Structure formats: structure tokens, C-alpha cells
Amino acid sequence: MPGAHILGIESSCDETAAAVVRSGEQLLSNVVASQIATHQPYGGVVPELASREHLRAIVPVVRQALAEASHSYDSIDAIAVTQGPGLAGALLVGISYAKAMAFALDKPLIAVNHLEGHIHAVLLEKRQKGDHEVRFPVLALVVSGGHTHLYLAALQGDSWTYENIGHTRDDAAGEAFDKVAKLLGLGYPGGPVIDRLSTHGDPRAVKFPPAQIKHRDRRGRNDGKDIAQGHDIRFDFSYSGIKTAILRYVEAHGMRGSVEERRKDLSAIAKPRLEDYLAHCDKVTLDLVASFQRAIVDDLVGKTLAAAQACNVATLFVTGGVAANQELRQSFERAGAELGLPVYFPSRPLSTDNAAMIAAAAYPKFLARDFAPLDFSAEASLLLR
């Protein structure tokens, strides 16, 4: 099959992933080994355990991705790997393996920013459907366990360039989902559980005062010039206040005992189903969960659309683990339709961490021969530009 067949490797957090993608537009395989079971007892990702699990999984995961794509080590054209941002020890496992492969096979090595990967997950699936047109400027909201970032993207030659116009000042949105689920005894990761439980509660039951999710921040970075003219306005987020508000709510409503009981009961079930969660949640808890999700979704959609209008963008991408959220997708779709702004998401499997997005983001770099030297290293706080 003609085209460039790139093997992507991703190990920045708690998923060991490998995928083969042809020319940034055709997914040939996509293997993800999740470590959720390892981290579940701790209610969050334990970095050392993550590195150890990546070491265990990387060889079989890469082999499976090659086999499912009907490829061998020799038949791929390049190896792409996440350089950062992420957990340094976890990143190093993928990077060391990718380097060893590139060296042994004498293939080009491509370093990819994880956040650019999330953006290219959208592009990969658009192209796969035969839709190659992208109208610029693009605004991309990358919303995950580690990030709530707004990027204005433009095209320079074949390469995408990015300007960050907003990010979270404290917790990321996914982190807020995870922490709130933990403090309500709902286990880890919190996003998928809260997503499913929210439809069973009243989203208007609990009000969170605006101070708990700071309003749109339009401070200028320098002199407050208008972003629509070339520019300097920020659209920052903040989600640590709402987490504290929920903690106070739990204390004020005497919910500690029932939270502990739920934690104990649910942790005794290997894979709790929706009915198990529902059987362990009273109306107050379901209303609290639904109200929390509504507050986060309203804030993400409100600020992102304010930024889209201020920057006069032509297209909106919403990507990252939290983009899997049902209510978030529906709200963005509704609001986008009202404004006449096309909104694109990855499918659910490509919203959360995967390696197909890394292989897709590597393709323009492959064309530009933008290869990484064998001595490049992990960058835990790598910026996207």
C-alpha cells in the first residue's frame, strides 16, 4: 500500500499505546493497554507504578500493533514517539524503546508533542472520512487529566503552528472529575463514572457561585490589546475551587459516612457496572454529581466559545480525555450550531490517550524530514508552539 506507514508509541501517563497510521489519514491498528486496574486502589496515577507497567507492556503492545496492521518491524517507514508533556519516567520508557527500534532498524525517529497528538486525533478521523478541508484559524480546546488548554492554530507550509491563549491556573478539568469522584467514593478514573451518573441527577440542584469557577479572564498579558487584532487576551480556567466546594458540601450535609461505605462497597466489585454505582448513590449524591458536571461543562463551553468569537475562528476542535464526555459534546454541538461554527471531536476511543494520534501528528514532520536525533530526551513540561 503506498504512503508513509508510521508506527506511533505513546507512554506519557497511564496508557501504553502503539498504533500504525498511513500518511496521517488511515488507521491501520490502534492498541491501548490501560493501567487503570493498577492505579485504581490509589485513586490516581502513581508515577513509579506507571513506569513499571509501561516496561511490562511496551514490547507486546508494539508487536500487537504491528501484527494487527499486517506490518513487520522492517516494513514501517518511521517511528514516532511522545516526547512530552507527561510523567518523565513514563515518557522515558516509550522514548528508549522507540530509539532502540530506530537505531536497530535504521529508521527515522520523530518526536511528537502529546498535545499536538490530541489535536491530530481530530484531523486523522476527519481525513479518514474523506474530509481533508480545514478552515483556519482553528481553535483547539485540549481538555484532559493534565490539561485544559486553548490553542489558536494556523498553517505554515505543511506544518501547524500553535499559540496558547488560555490554560488552567490550577487543576485540569479531568483532574477535577477524578478528584471529585475520589472524594465521593466513586473510584478512579472519575470522568467516565460521573459522565454516566450525571444523567440520573438534577443538574440544577446545587449551585456553585461564580467565584468557585472564575469567570472569563480577559486580562491582557502585556497591555490588554484586543486579541481579534493581533493580540493578547487570555481565556484561563480554574477548577480547584469547585472541588473544595464539593468537599464542603459533603461535610455540611453529613455525607462522610455514606461516602466511606460507598468507597468500601465499590472497591470490593472488580468492574462495577452502572447499576452498581446507582445502587450505592442516593439522590443527594446524584444531584451533586450532575450539578458538578453541568458547572464544568458550562464553564468549558462558555469560555471556549468566548475565545472563538474574540479570535474570529473558522473551526473548533475539542479533544483530550474529557472530550469523551456526553454532555460536553452535546453542549458544544448545540452552541456551535447556534453560532454557525463547525465543531469537531475525535471518536471516544481517540479522545483519551492513544498512539494513533502520535503517528498522525508525526506525518507532517515525516514529510518535512523533521527527525529527532538519537540523543533527544523526555520533556515533562514540553510546551506546544
The footprint of Zn ion (CB under 5 A) covers 144, 353
Between 191 and 203, whose beta carbon lies closer to ligand KG4? 191
- Under DSSP, is residue 88 helix (H, G, I), strand (E, B) or coil? helix
The CA-atom distances, in angstroms, between 151 and each of 31, 139, 329, 351 are 28, 6, 18, 17
| Minimum CB–partner distance for residue 190 and ligand KG4 (Å) | 5
Residue 24 interacts with ligand KG4 (CB under 6 A)?
A: no
In sign, the C-alpha dihedral spanning 240, 246, 248, 251 is: negative
320 near ligand KG4 (CB under 6 A): yes
Paired residues of 30 in beta bridges? 19
Does 43 participate in binding ligand KG4 (rule CB under 6 A)?
no
The string of DSSP letters for 237-283 reads B--HHHHHHHHHHHHHTT-HHHHHHHHHHHHTSSS--HHHHHHT--H
Of 130-138, 191-199, 275-283, 362-370, the window that binds ligand KG4 (rule: CB under 6 A) is 191-199
Q: Are 101 and 73 in contact (CB under 8 A)?
A: yes
Nearest approach in angstroms of CB 364 to Zn ion is: 20
- The nearer residue to Zn ion, 174 or 185, going by C-beta atoms, is 174
Q: What is the dihedral of CA 300, 304, 305, 308, to 10 degrees?
A: -170
15-22 and 78-84 beta bridge pairing: unpaired
Q: Which is nearer to Zn ion, 178 or 287 (CB)?
A: 178
Q: Which of 10, 125, 171, 195 binds ligand KG4 (CB under 6 A)?
A: 195
Among 160, 177, 239, 344, which residue sits at the site for ligand KG4 (rule: CB under 6 A)?
Answer: 177
Rounded distance between C-alpha atoms, residue 51 and residue 39, angstroms: 12
* Residue 166 touches which of Zn ion, ligand KG4, none (Cβ within 5-8 Å per kind): none
Closest CB 27 distance from ligand KG4, rounded Å: 17
Distance between CA atoms of residues 182 and 190, nearest Å: 7
Instruction: Decide if residue 324 touches ligand KG4 (CB under 6 A).
Output: yes
| CB of 142 or CB of 227, closer to Zn ion | 142
Closest separation in Å from C-beta 320 to Zn ion: 6
**Could you give the C-alpha distances from 364 to 5, 23, 135, 203, in angstroms and in order?**
12, 9, 18, 43
User: Which does residue 191 touch among ligand KG4, Zn ion, none (CB within 5 to 8 A, set by kind)?
Assistant: ligand KG4
Minimum CB separation of residue 186 from ligand KG4 in Å reads 11
Q: Where are the alpha helices (DSSP H) in the chain?
A: 36-39, 47-68, 88-105, 114-128, 173-183, 190-198, 240-252, 256-267, 274-279, 283-310, 326-339, 348-351, 356-367
Residue 53 identity (one-letter amino acid)? E
Under the criterion CB under 6 A, does residue 295 sit at the interface with ligand KG4?
A: no
Applying CB under 6 A, which of residues 44, 47, 192, 302 lies at the interface with ligand KG4? 192
- Residue 10 interacts, among Zn ion, ligand KG4, none and using kind-specific CB cut-offs from 5 to 8 Å, with none
Q: Least Å distance between CB 251 and ligand KG4?
A: 24
Q: Does 145 bind ligand KG4 (CB under 6 A)?
A: yes
- Give the shortest CB-173-to-Zn ion separation in angstroms: 12
Any contact of residue 191 with ligand KG4 (CB under 6 A)?
yes
Q: DSSP letter at 222?
A: S
Give the list of residues 6+ apart from residue 23 with CB closer than 8 angstroms, or none: 3, 4, 363
Among 84, 190, 241, 346, binds ligand KG4 (CB under 6 A): 190
- Closest approach, Cβ 174 to ligand KG4, in A, equals 3
Of 51, 168, 331, 352, the one binding ligand KG4 (CB under 6 A) is 352
Residue 175: strand, helix, or coil: helix
How large is the angle between the packed helices 283-310 and 173-183, nearest 10 degrees?
Answer: 170
The H or E element spanning position 22 is: strand 15-22
Site string for ligand KG4, 218-257 (x = CB under 6 A): ----------------------------------------
Kindly state the cell numbers that stand for 323: 472530550
**Binding footprint of ligand KG4 on the chain (CB under 6 A):** 13, 144-146, 174, 177-178, 189-192, 195, 320-322, 324-325, 352-353
